[in-house]
Structure 1
C-alpha cells in the first residue's frame, strides 16, 4: 500500500482548495493510496495564537505586513509537525503541498521524499487583489519570490488549468509541469441528490421565485457584485428571481451594502458560508448556478470547482468566458458563457436557461455526463497517480 500526505496549509474553511483536497483524497483511496492531511487544525491553540496574533497586530499597522510574520511562523510550525509525522510513520512516498507559500516547510522537513506542488492560482496576485495592494508593493514582491522558489524547487508542479501552467513557466519552470483540471467527488455531487431547503428566513424571502445560486468566496475576482446587479436586471425584464449568494470573504461588508440598496434588496441576499455537506442539496434546490468571475490584478478564474459541482449535480451553469471556465464549459453545450463583468449579459443568459426548459435540460445532461467521465474524483485522481508514480520511480532508481 502506498502512502501520501496531503499537505494543505491553513485552509480548513469551505472553498475550492478544501473541496479539491477532499475530492483528491477520495479518488486516491479508490486507487489504493492512503492519504493524510496536515493543516491549520493540526496546530495547538498556543501555536495558532503565536502565528495569528502578531499577524493581526501588524496588519492593523499596515495592510499586508502581517504576512511577513505569519508565513515564516506558519512554515516553522508545519515543518515541526511534519517531521514528527514522518518519523512516526512507515514509508511515505510523496508529500503534496497545496500552495507555494508553505512549500518551505515541506522542503525543510521531508528531505529525500519527492514534493509535488499544486498551483491553484497566482498567489501574489491574489493577495494583491484581496488586499487592494499594488503589484509592486514590497509584500507582494516578497510573495512572488516565495512562489518562484517553490515552483523551481518542487519535484513536480501541477497546475489546475492551462493558463496556470503557462503562469508557472513564466518563472522559468519547464520540466515536470502538468496541467490537471479540477474535479469533484461525484459520490457527493450528482443529479440524484435530494434538494435541500435553505434556512427558513431565506425560503420566506425567496417566496417561490426561481433561485439563482452564486456559491462564491467574497473576493474581487469572483465577481459577486455582477451577480447582484444581474438580479435587478432580470427582474426588470419581467421575471423576478432570488439571487442567493453563499460564501464569505473580505468583500462581505462591501457586497452587503450593495445588496441592501433599494434596487437590489428585493432580488439578492448574502447568506454566509455553508459546510461542504450542504452544498449538493442547495445546488439541487436552485434553478441556475452562476459563476460571474472577473479579472482582478492579473487574477483569472481557474477551472472553477463551484462550476463543476453544479454541473455534476445537473444544474445549468452560466459563467464568465475567462480563464479555466472556458476549459470546462462549452458554450451552448455544457453551460452558457458570457462576457466577464457584464450584468446585462449574465441576466440575459440566466433568462434563457429559465425560460427555455429544453435548453436547460440539454445543458444539464451533457455537463453531468462530462463530469462523470472526465472530472470525477476517480478520473482526476488517476492523473495525479501518474505524476506520483513518475516521481516515485525516479526516486527509486
Structure 2
C-alpha cells in the first residue's frame, strides 16, 4: 500500500514517533511523509520527507508563521502521491490531509496525541482557537479511525463527544532494540534524571525541591535534560547546588546514555492549563534501559508503568509523596533495585514496545484497506 503520513511540522529529533513505525514497515508499504515545515537532523531517518514552506535558512520558527499559505500545495502533493491511506498526526492543522482525503477518496486515519484534544476542550475565543476547533472537528468527522495514545486520551475524546465507534487506543511504543540496559555500577553516586520541557506541566520545580529535601538523607546527583521557559530557574539551582547538573538539550544518543546511567528517572508531570500528560514516552524509554521511574499519577502516565513494580507513582501534585518516593527508591536494597530494573525492562518489551505498536498499526492499515474501495487515482 501507499501510505501518506501528514503532519503540520516535523523536527527530528525529537519527534521520532512520526517516522518510527514507517521505518519498521517500509518493506511492506510505500511511505512518504508530507509536512509544512521540516527540520531533520538525524541521518538514520530514511523515509522520504517533503515539506512545503521554502527558505530553510529563515529558521524553523519563522517558517511556521507562513504555514497557511502552503496548505493547498501540501494537499495537492499528497493526492499526486496517490495514497491508499492518509495518516495524519495531531488533529490540529489537519486541513491538508482532510482535503486530500476528500478529493482522492483515500481513507484518513488520525492519531490524536493530546494537545489536539486540549485545544478542542478549550474555549474557541480567539482566531487561532477557532481554527484549531475547526481542524480537530473536521479530522474527527472525516477520519475512518481515531487512534489515541492512551486510555486516558480515549476518555477525553469520549467526553468531548467524538464518535466512540472510531476511537482505538494505540500505544506508540519505544524501540527496545535502541533503548537497552547497560551494566549498572552500584558503587557510583546515584543519578536522578529528568528529561523533558522545562515548564510547569512537566513539574521540574517539584523535582528540584524534592531533590534538595532528600539530598542529605539520600545522596545523589540530579541531572536535568531539556529546555523551556523555566530554563533560568533550573540554571540558578544548578549554580547554587553542586549536586544539580543542568545539561540542556541532548540528542537521542545523549538522552539514551543518561538513561542508561541513571538510577531513577523522575517525571512529575501534572495538570497545567487544562492539559495533562497524554502518555509519556520518556518513561518507557527509561524503563527499556532498565531504569525505574517515579512519577505523578496524572493523565496517561499510570498506563506507562506498573506502580510498585517498575517504579512508584505519587498522587498528582503531591510534593510530599514525590519526595518520599524519591527517598524510597534511592534507598532500595540491591536485590530489590535489581528486580525493579528487570521488571522495568520486561514491562516495556512485553507491553509497550515499538515492535508491538508497529504490528497493531499495520493491522489498522490492513483492516481499513479491506473495508475501503480503492481511492481515485489522479
Alignment of 1:92-171 (within 5 A): 92-110=83-101, 111=103, 112-123=105-116, 125=118, 137-139=125-127, 141-142=129-130, 143-169=132-158, 170-171=160-161
Question: Are 1:220 and 2:208 an aligned pair?
Answer: no
In the TM superposition, 1:183-222 aligns within 5 A as: 183-192=173-182, 209-222=189-202
Shift of the 48–116 alpha-carbon distance from structure 1 to 2, 3 Å rule, reads farther
Judged with a 3 Å threshold, the aligned counterparts in structure 2 of structure 1 residues 127 and 162 are, in CA distance, closer, same or farther, namely closer
| Distance change >3 Å, CA 54–CA 213, structure 1 → 2 | closer
Cα deviations by residue, 1:226-264 (Å, 9 ceiling, x for unpaired): 11111101214x22322111112334345445x2574xx
Deviation readout 1:51-110 (Å, 9 max, x if unpaired): 95497xxxxxxxxxxxxxx4xx425424414523542x4x52221111112210112234
Aligned partner of residue 289 in structure 1, secondary structure: strand
Aligned position for 2:55: 46
Give the counterpart of 2:166 among 164, 167, 176: 176
The unaligned stretches of length 5 or more in structure 2 are 39-50
1:377 to 329, 354, 363: 354
Kindly provide the CA deviation profile for residues 144-172 of structure 1, in whole angstroms up to 9, marking residues without a partner as x: 34322322222211000112112222143
Contact persistence 1:232–1:267 (CA under 8 A): no
Cα distance change, pair 319–215 in 1 and its aligned pair in 2 (3 A): same
Task: Give the CA RMSD over aligned residues.
Answer: 2.9
CA distance in 2, matches of 1:44, 1:146: 20
Structure 1 pair 189/26, CA: closer, same or farther in 2 (3 Å)?
farther
User: Aligned-pair distance for 1:48?
Assistant: 8.3
Q: Which of 311, 324, 330 is the equivalent residue of 1:335?
A: 311
Report matched runs for 1:1-397 at 5 Å: 2-15=1-14, 18-29=15-26, 32-39=28-35, 40-41=37-38, 42-46=51-55, 52-53=61-62, 70=65, 73-84=66-77, 86-87=79-80, 89=81, 91-110=82-101, 111=103, 112-123=105-116, 125=118, 137-139=125-127, 141-142=129-130, 143-169=132-158, 170-192=160-182, 209-236=189-216, 238-257=217-236, 259=237, 262=240, 265-356=241-332, 357-396=334-373
In the TM superposition, structure 1's runs of 4+ consecutive aligned residues that sit over 4 Å from their partners are 47-55, 134-137
- For residues 207 and 120 of structure 2, the distance between their equivalents in structure 1, rounded to whole angstroms, comes to 23
Helix, strand or coil: the match of 2:7?
Answer: strand
Residues 49 and 349 of structure 1: CA distance in aligned 2, closer, same or farther (over 3 Å): same
Q: How far apart are residue 179 of structure 1 and its match?
A: 0.7
Normalised by the size of structure 1, how large is the TM-score? 0.79
- Are the counterparts in 1 of residues 305 and 347 from structure 2 also a CA contact under 8 Å? no
Contact kept in structure 1, 2:53 and 2:63, CA below 8 Å: no
In structure 1, runs of 5+ residues without a counterpart are: 56-69, 129-133, 196-207
Q: Residues 168-188 of structure 1: CA distance to partner in whole angstroms, max 9, x if unpaired? A: 221432322101123111221
**Closer/same/farther in 2, CA of residues 210 and 372 from structure 1, 3 Å limit:** same
For residues 165 and 128 of structure 2, what CA distance do their matches in structure 1 show?
26
Q: Any idea what SS the aligned residue of 1:175 has?
A: coil
TM-score w.r.t. length of structure 2: 0.83
Partner of 2:45: none
User: How many positions carry a matched residue from both structures?
Assistant: 353
- Structure with a larger share of its residues in strand: 2
Deviation of residue 323 (structure 1)? 1.5
Partner SS for 2:343:
helix
- Is contact 1:247–1:273 with CA below 8 Å preserved after alignment? yes
